[in-house]
Structure 1
Amino acid sequence: MEKILSHKNDTIRTSLCQLNGDLAQEAVQSFRNITGYMGDRSTTKGAVDHSLKLLNNMLLAPEDLRDEVYCQIIKQTTKNPSVDSNIKGWELLAILAGSFPPGEELKPYVMHHCAAEHGRRHSNPKVRDYAVYVLHRIKKVCRLGPRREIPTPVEIEATRRLLPLNVRVSFLDDRYITLPVDSWSTAKELEGRCAKMLGIKDGTPFALYEVSTEEEERVLEPEERILDLVAYWTRLETDERTRKGKMANIEEFRFVYKVRLFLDVPDDDVAGVHLMYIQATHDVVDARYPCTDNDSITLAALQVQEEHGDYPGPLGPNPLTGKVSKYIAKKYLEEKGEDVLEDSITKLYQKLTGYSKREARLSYLDYVKAWKIYGSAYFFAEPQSNREFPSAVVLAINSKGILVVDPDTKDYLAEYTYNNVVTWGHSQNSFVVVTGNITRRVKVYFRTEQGKEMNSIVRAYVEKLMARSEAGDT
């Protein structure tokens, strides 16, 4: 038995555990990948290639085969006479522990193997580091479950070096930060790190989004694993380039940290106010809100004041020259012309002399908050059994309620304030709002595939309103 459970250079003829014929053959191939990675046998493939093949075979494999692979690596890291091979074995164990868990019965044996190696007096220092690292990863993978995607080569290399992987998180003003993540970092955890790095006091209004170069976006679920998303994007890119060619323009993705819930942020939360301001300027210039000419000019002047400070005078360079498109929505620029708008904005900009950066931001936010449509998340939907609405509408959900908007005329067709909403709900392809009172209620159904996100946003706003109401009562 001791010989069976100890390192060997030769390949195995059948599985270590009792498996059926097909799985036993897969187990033999897995052992070849393990020994190839560890350098126990000569091979033309690199170590990372062996690990990727092993992970690919294990991604959808049954638990019995996954446990077999854990047993094989434990075998190869037991009484291994080669220092280099042993280190490689522990590297591979760390990689696997970042991808799928051992079964409940095997888990204590894997944990014991790690703890025993760490406690061994004459153990190689590097192996001891791996043992602690694997112990930590086993606990996490058993709690969170297997990965959905095969780790990227970059993630595998970081794991081999016992290092986190840095990911870029962008903002709407083209700035970005890089933050460390590991195989188990979730969207919720990364949101917390973003808020902490920026100095935001309350991160509730903000969330991480997946944003594509085709301007499609979705908010990340709290428990989504960041590196699974990165691996998914990498796989999509590889498939697209294989199909279209290396130089083809393909859809790419990035993480964006921005406003999800347009809640009131205290003025003393400087970082939070700044992010709300960035969102507001982006949405105005992107024409997400219907603005009058006066609105556009006023907001542009405030934005220039916030960014550049006081007007430099007739002899100084006007920061608006050649850059009006940065502050004005494209449709207004096309209607009025750049020279006319530059002149109008400059006249108001001159009157803002003395406004500090903070005052300009707060004034901008106060201006847009007065709009009924401010802070709306937009969802296309099809009203069901309702003759009052056209066949397609836009539901604009914000902190005040739900607006039904005509997508062509931009007219408000109906408004459901939260005070009048009795309940609401969703299914996979619908969203429903119930308004009225105890004696009379009206249900309005909408067909949409975004019901889950709509439901989540409404719930968040209603819960916030209820919390404020309770706080006021006390």
Structure 2
Amino acid sequence: MTDQDEQSALQIFNLILTYAGLVVAANREENGGGPRVKDEDDSHVVLIQTVLDRAMKKDCLVNEVFLQLIKQTTDHPEPNSRVNLRHWSLLALACSIILPVDKLVRKYLLSHLKKCSADFVTEEGKYARFAEKCLHKTLGTRRRQWPPSKQEILCTINRRLIYARFHFMDGQFHTVEFDPSSTADEVLKLVIQRIGLREGAQGYAIYEVLGQQERSLLGDEKVADVMSKWDKYQAAGGTLSRQSKHHMFLFKKHLFLDEYIDIRDPVEKELLYYQALCDLRSDRFPVTDMEAVMLCALRAQIELSDFTGEGDYRQVMQHCLPPRMLVNIHKDHVAMHHQSLIGMSVEEAKQAFLNLIQCWPLHRATLFDVNQTFTSNWPRSLWLGVDQRGVHLLEARTRNVLTSYEYDTVIDYTPSINHLLLITGNDKKQSKVILNTTQAFQIANLIREYNQVVVSNRFPVPDSAMPDQ
């Protein structure tokens, strides 16, 4: 170790001793030396986060932390003492976050856990078995970027699974438990199982919603890492903290491929209906005034049942349309169309709603707001749509398709913080399109995911899916 790393290792060890109660931190003395329980919990969380945050920055410190914890949990004279169990809880937590980089240290750690796991009398043995389980689950997974969140710490040191709420487009949510090392793909399967979606359902993803932005999690990304990032942002303060006050996990359809959609599945039908409704309400779906009236009438049939001459149609319209369209649609027209739907069941109304949405060839495209300055022939503000057929550029909030690129003609798509570079054409002739957007990485990932299925696996796509230009 360098002198600087050695000093860091000494500071980390002092923090470990402080967490165990062997060293009293000066700022924890209060009310005659007795800290309040809440303050003690918070200070312990900060101590643990500091230890792991410092260790994660350098490989040699990762190895050092594990060696320190192995030392502290070896042959303790009082296995059930608070000090020993604090050390064990920290070791179990470390095993669920990071693993020793050095193979010898990792082998030494595993041997230590196996030896202590043979103890079926004391709490030490329970922690050793839990830590060994955490270690095997962490092996081979993506390395964590952030120290654990407060919730993750409190759950793991008590040998419990961590949990999170996963929200849906209809406003409902489910709480799901999972391991700290669980990837987005693994948690996605748990959510699918929880809501009763058909086994093997494909094309769904977990999204991270942070303020006004949303991002689909990569398959190998650890869900606990996202929760840790939220904690970190809030603790840091400033603009990121204000944005992260509104944060959640959202479950919805991600890839709209023909093979991935089965409208006969009642759960999937419900999910797709509410996702279409949300896209419409958030102004991500262009409709004519007449279509808007019909969609509101169908929504009224779902909310109010059969026409009675009463009912708040203005509220129904607010649940269905973006604010800019409300001034163009008269509630009397909605009521008149609602009257024509007497006898239609809720399921029939939802099916009719989806049928009307599907009249637009690009109804399955994921739309992104982008800006362009490379040609005066197009408006500055555009929509970029990505679907199973290719990439499409449209005039914003309209169905006017300016150009479309099939995946076979998309040579490259390079994202940066504020730009997306599209290179299209063939080996002989190429053209570049530069688009300004803050969602360039999201767009590039979506293009890549569709491209892998459509091109690499030669997924059959009907010609009717391509809009007329």
Q: For this structure pair, what is the TM-score category when the shorter chain's length is used for normalisation? A: 0.7 to 0.9
Residues 27, 464 of structure 1: CA spacing in aligned structure 2 closer, same or farther, 3 A cutoff?
closer
Cα distance in 2 for residues equivalent to 1:469 and 1:32: 58
Q: Based on CA coordinates, which of the two structures has the bigger radius of gyration? A: 1
Tell me by how many angstroms 1:114 deviates: 0.6
Residue aligning to 2:105: 106
1:28 aligns with 2:10: yes
Question: For residues 410 and 10 of structure 2, what CA distance do their matches in structure 1 show?
Answer: 58
SS in 2 for 1:266: coil
1:329 paired to 2:322? yes
| Separation in structure 2 between the aligned mates of residue 417 and residue 447 of structure 1, nearest angstrom | 15
Out of 250, 274, 292, which is 1:256 matched to? 250
Structure 2 counterparts to residues 13-92 of structure 1, below 5 A = 19-43=1-25, 45=28, 46=40, 47-60=44-57, 62-82=58-78, 83-84=80-81, 85-92=83-90
2:272 equivalent to 1:276: yes
- Are 2:406 and 1:404 equivalent residues in the alignment? no
Structure 2 counterpart of 1:320, which letter? Answer: Y
Mapping for residues 199-348 of structure 1, pairs under 5 Å:
199-201=196-198, 202-213=200-211, 215-240=212-237, 243=238, 251-264=245-258, 265-311=261-307, 313-314=308-309, 317-318=310-311, 320=313, 322-336=315-329, 340-341=330-331, 343-348=332-337
Which of 339, 344, 351 is matched with 1:362 structurally?
Answer: 351
Structure 2 unpaired stretches of 5+: 29-39, 463-469
Q: Which amino acid aligns with 1:414?
A: L
Aligned 8 A contact 1:395 1:405 in 2: yes
Does residue 428 in structure 1 map to residue 410 in structure 2? no
TM-aligned CA deviation for residue 278 of structure 1: 0.4
Q: 1:57 to 1:453 in 2, by over 3 A?
A: closer
Q: 1:42 to 1:210 in 2, by over 3 A?
A: closer
Indicate the residue corresponding to 1:447 in structure 2. 435
1:446–1:372 distance in 2 versus 1, CA, 3 Å: farther
Q: Secondary structure at 2:249's aligned position in 1?
A: strand
Provide TM-score, normalisation by structure 1: 0.82
Secondary structure of the residue that 1:371 maps to in structure 2? coil
Once the two structures are TM-superposed, the CA of residue 428 in structure 1 deviates from its matched residue by 3.0
Deviation of 1:325 after TM superposition, in Å, equals 1.5
Change (3 A) 1:113 1:326: same
Q: Deviations over 1:278-335 (max 9, x none)?
A: 0111112222222112101111111222344333x34xx5253644312333222223
Equivalences, count: 435
**Cα gap change, 1:322/1:348 in structure 2, threshold over 3 Å: closer, same or farther?**
same
Q: CA deviation at 1:463?
A: 5.4
Among all aligned residue pairs of Structure 1 and Structure 2, give the percentage whose two residues are the same amino acid: 22
> Are 2:143 and 1:185 equivalent residues in the alignment?
no
With over 3 angstroms needed to count, the CA separation of the structure-2 counterparts of 1:353 and 1:464, relative to structure 1, is farther
Whether the aligned pair in 2 keeps the contact of 1:37 and 1:88 (CA below 8 Å) is yes
Aligned partners of 1:433, 1:319: CA distance in 2, in Å? 50
Cα distance 1:183–1:469, how it changes in 2: closer, same or farther (>3 A)? closer
Q: CA deviation at 1:398?
A: 2.6
Compared CA separation, residues 267 and 468, structure 1 to 2 (3 A): farther
Decide which of 415, 423, 432 is 2:403's aligned counterpart. 415
Shift of 1:197: 1.3
Q: Distance in 1 between matches of 2:440 and 2:367?
A: 12
Question: How far did 1:238 drift?
Answer: 2.3
Cα separation, 2, equivalents of 1:54 and 1:110: 18
In the alignment, what sits opposite 2:37? none
**In the TM superposition, what is the alpha-carbon distance from 1:224 to its structure 2 partner?**
1.7
Q: CA deviation at 1:162?
A: 0.7
Which residue does 1:374 correspond to in 2? 363
> Does structure 1 conserve the Cα–Cα contact (< 8 Å) formed by 2:296 and 2:316?
no
Q: Which moved more, 1:354-363 or 1:382-391?
A: 382-391
Partner AA of 1:79 in structure 2: D
Q: CA separation in 2, counterparts of 1:461 and 1:250?
A: 30
CA offsets 1:102-156 (integer angstroms, 9 cap, x no match): 1212111100111011114xx5442222111111222333422542111122211
Pairwise CA distance, 1:470: 5.8
**1:304 and 1:319 in contact (8 A); partners too:** no
Residue type matched to 2:14 in 1? Answer: R
User: CA offset at residue 267 of structure 1?
Assistant: 2.5
The whole-number CA distance in structure 1 between the counterparts of 2:190 and 2:94 is 26
Distance 1:454 1:34, change over 3 A: closer
Structure 1 pair 354/92, CA: closer, same or farther in 2 (3 Å)?
same
Q: Distance in 1 between matches of 2:64 and 2:454?
A: 53
Instruction: Confirm whether residue 352 of structure 1 aligns to residue 341 of structure 2.
Output: yes
Aligned mates of 1:281, 1:378 — CA distance in 2: 15
Gaps of 5+ in 1: 1-18
